[in-house]
Structure 1
């Protein structure tokens, strides 16, 4: 009898390892819906990764979604959580070619 729980645990472990590696670095996340987001990998927990990013860069199904947290001294930044189950891929973000 096969269990479908193990792949989810493997995915969580894989995401946690990547979070440890890229913590406090600029990353790019591609979600299962095809949307792409860049930001500073601020933190993570058991189920989500949290990026610090400008509020106007966070879209939800084609519409702007406002941040609930703002950092007025640095601009309109917010902390956004992305559930691991919704992430297709993520890694370091390189905005230019060297």
Structure 2
């Protein structure tokens, strides 16, 4: 998936699948590149494509994918759980 294609709806869905708080997602993504929970909150409020720096979006996408959620963009953007990683979903 191209990181430019991240949508607020996908971010909300992915975080719900992982059962992560906005802070947890921000903390995990910040291990790659700084991302705040306020940023996650702003992005999730968007109904459409997130317009942000490639570095920050990439960090969030990589974190979500590493935790086991696939972001889909085949004409109907969405998210699906592809594997269960108990340690990754705590928080």
TM-score when normalising by structure 2: 0.25
Which of the two has greater helix per residue?
2
Higher relative contact order (Cα pairs below 8 Å, separated by 6+ residues): 2
Report the structure number with the largest CA radius of gyration.
Answer: 1
TM-score when normalising by structure 1: 0.24
Which of the two has greater strand per residue?
1
